[in-house]
Structure 1
Amino acid sequence: MPASRDIEILNLINAIVHQATARMQRSLREAEVGLAAMEARTLRFIARHPGCTQSDIVRESGRDKAQIARVIKTLLERDYVRRMPDQAGEKRQRLRMTASGAATHETAEALRATVARDLLADLAAAERAQLEKLLKRIAQAPPSEPD
């Protein structure tokens, strides 16, 4: 496949990601959930990884420490998450979702499901299965060596 075709595929993937993010941001705003998209993603991570650390979020999100620190600070101020001390003598603090954080996360995830359903509405079930299979294969491919 020519490089220009590969670039076009990458451009399409980026366009879909941006479209999904924009729809999610709009949905969160219209539903007056009070979360930005990055805050919703961080809550999702904490929900899936109870007891994670801020460093875990930085590593998995690819965002810088300062941005994640700001997001965590906002979530703490809104009482969506709490810091729990780690093992005795360790400096790390683990994050746990509060009841209000869980309720907000549930609302955000329902909106996320709607965005996903709308985004894929024109695909038949078999096409969705094929798309999922191909995307998983791409996501699981080992990084290529620099030229």
Structure 2
Amino acid sequence: MSCVTERANLSDGDVHNVAATLRGLVWSLRRFGERQSGLVPLPNSEFEVLRTVAESPGCTVSDIARHLGLQASNVSTTVRNLMKRGLLVREVDPSDRRSGRLRLSSEAQRHSALIEDAWERAINTQLRLMSADEVSTIVAAAPLLRRLSGMAEDSYGVIGSAGRNSKSNAR
């Protein structure tokens, strides 16, 4: 006996509404944590490189470029800027001394903790203003939203634990 999951019947309007809402949410909240923590906002390119290194410590410039769909030369420039700001550290790869592996600096980790704390406080405040049903709906939607957040990784590939780019769905 096979178990088939019934798929939702979506209209174009439903898809448009969800896409527009998520896009608006991402854009409106993009800088929230930086502002709330009193941090200097980073250019989008630097933010994306830091996010990628945070998700895949030990990755290389080439790994980041493939993952983000950017030119390696542009990523190299961004990495140099982040290193000058004290937010990234490059370590020599013991298996290939010509290659550098990237990780967040302790300062970047401190910034990340400040931003995470600001987000948690704000979300806690918002959830406490909602009804129990609304909170249950948002909590139940979290895994689905996490799945949607993997759209970029699905198109460019996920950087593996050794810093190598792979088309893995391990999340």
| Residue type of the alignment partner of 2:13 | S
From 44, 47, 53, the counterpart of 1:46: 53
2:40 matched to 1:34? yes
Task: Decide whether the 8 Å contact of 1:40 with 1:108 is kept in 2.
Answer: no
Gaps of 5+ in 1: none
* Superposed displacement of residue 6, structure 1: 1.4
Q: Give how far 1:116 is off.
A: 4.6
Extract unaligned runs of 5+ from structure 2.
Answer: 1-9, 156-171
Q: Name 1:80's counterpart in structure 2.
A: 87
Q: Deviations over 1:92-145 (max 9, x none)?
A: 2101233333323322332343455466565543122222133245456878xx
User: Is 1:7–2:13 an aligned residue pair?
Assistant: no
Equivalent residue pairs, number: 139
After superposition, where does 1:96-135 map in structure 2 within 5 Å?
A: 96-114=103-121, 116-117=123-124, 122-123=129-130, 124-135=134-145
Larger radius of gyration: 2
Shift in Å, 1:37: 6.1
Alpha-carbon shift at residue 11 of structure 1 (Å): 0.9
Write the deviation string for residues 57-93 of structure 1: whole angstroms up to 9, x where unpaired. 3344x35235533432221002222211113445321
Aligned-partner SS, 1:16: helix
**One-letter amino acid of the counterpart of residue 35, structure 2:** R
Aligned equivalents of 2:108, 2:129: Cα separation in 1: 33
Cα offsets for 1:31-63 (capped at 9, x unmatched): 1x2341644554344344321222333344x35
Instruction: Look up the SS of the partner of 1:92 in the other structure.
Output: strand
Instruction: Check whether the contact 1:20–1:115 (CA below 8 A) recurs between aligned residues.
Output: no
Structure 1 residues 121, 10: CA separation in 2 closer, same or farther (over 3 Å shift)?
farther
Q: Are the equivalent residues in 1 in contact too, given 2:33–2:116 (CA < 8 A)?
A: no
TM-score (norm 1): 0.68
Identity %: 19
Over the aligned positions, Cα root-mean-square deviation in angstroms equals 3.3
Whichever structure has more helix as a proportion of its residues is 1
